[in-house]
Structure 1
Amino acid sequence: MDLESRGKLVPTREMVKTPEQIEGIRIAGKVNTGCLDAVAEAIHPGMNTQEIDDICMQYCKDHNAHPSCLNYEGFPKSVCTSINEVVCHGIPKTEDVLKEGDIVNVDMTLDVNGYYGDASRMFIIGGHSTPEKEQLVRVTKECLDLGAAAAVPYCTIGDIGHAIQKHAEKYGYGVVRDLCGHGVGLAMHEEPDILHYGHKGQGMVLVPGMVFTIEPMINMGTWKVFIDADDPYGWEVISGDEKPSAQWEHTFLMTENGVEILSE
């Protein structure tokens, strides 16, 4: 009996990439990883987030890539830089200067010849922060890893979300529900949505050939969020109680043997 006849939600043909498409996405993913590596080498206390944007713009120029965030629905920069209580979509600015102990998420998406890579990393500025912030960054990475471990062939999206939610809530953290992972590869955002909370066995079945992100956004307090009223672009998302937030993201390919990381 096939999955659909058993009442399972199955992907459309368009969600399963061809070998040629996967190779193009793999190339874009490697460039995207290299861009974040360049940020990792340069990031330090005292630099401003516009400097991070400059690094990413130059890396794209040097590698025949296009920064996908630039001008996407009015987003004015090439990369997202989200500091402390900013959950995601932080806009690089010369006035946002990184301080010792800050935690910052750098989220980069780029495309090479029409194929997309997407990933984000957390950085602890200066190498040390408060024990509470350091634990949040560590546990959020563990949530990503546990979500990836749950992503086996013919699992459901709910299996991934359940693994992430269970681990985060052990620490009293909130799993952001207003934003999620997603399909990626031929566009910056594709179906399906990859929720970071949920129940085992629920949601779409993930099959070999699908490419998607897992990108848990974990808040130190409430899972709720709001849009910064002072952001003229309407993009910056803040934790509901303005406590710190962390996020890690990889792009994954589902194979017959589990997931392969395409960008990290």
Structure 2
Amino acid sequence: MPAKDESDRASTASTFHNDDYARFFSLSLDMLCIAGFDGYFKHLNPIWQPTLGFTIEELMSQPFVSFVHPDDVASTLEAAGNLSSGRDVVTFINRYRCKDGTYRWIEWRSASIPERQQIYATARDITQQRAAEETIRRQAAALMELSTPLIPISDHVLVMPLVGTMDTLRAKQVLDTLLEGVGRSRAEVAILDITGVSVVDTQVASALIMAARAVRLLGGEVVLTGIRPDVAATLVGLGADLSGIATCGTLQAGIGYAIRAAGNRGGTQR
């Protein structure tokens, strides 16, 4: 009797295990798969079909790399090679073709058992997440562009009014926008107005000096305006080398200086 009881319990446990596995595999909201080292899917759970539009049979009838975006094939084969060597692949992302010809971004977490020549993976459709991230990136870029406007006030004079705080990213944006604008317009003088910059520290001073030097390399001149008494004291305290940079207390005074300076240059095209 004890032997029979143990056999019954083992049979029940096996049945439960198989049923539980099948239920988990079929109900998972993530895409689950078992693939062979031969490059074909061996088992796929049902969520694959509504995600990509292909039937399970269609997905298993071709090498899985045939569904991968051409630009992602090399990295996918590299990841498969790592798995074949027994190395886990975590947070791998590629694009899979849908039946309608579009592509979905898929994030993978995979492990393998080399002796069985099989790969076990979970995959998640992150297309909406990627689209949201791209929207945020574009909005951030647009806001950054608005935060560093470059305004032409004559054929040879540009003004960049700066407002708010200046960090490393914004300093780079200021420099890039300024150089691109001066180079494109062939401006003689560029005015950097810091009236609205809340804090002038070493980072801001360094960014201004770098911008002035870069514009000089293009044959132009930088005028710094909006220097308040507290800003002047800060710049002196920091030992900022503003030699070669014309300074004016107000934007109006800076514009007058810039127009005269451009006139003295003869408004010639560099």
- Please indicate the TM-score interval, normalised by the length of the shorter structure: under 0.3
**Structure number, greater radius of gyration:** 2
Work out which structure has the larger RCO, using CA pairs closer than 8 Å and 6 or more positions apart in sequence: 1
TM-score by length of 1: 0.22
TM-score, normalising length: structure 2: 0.21
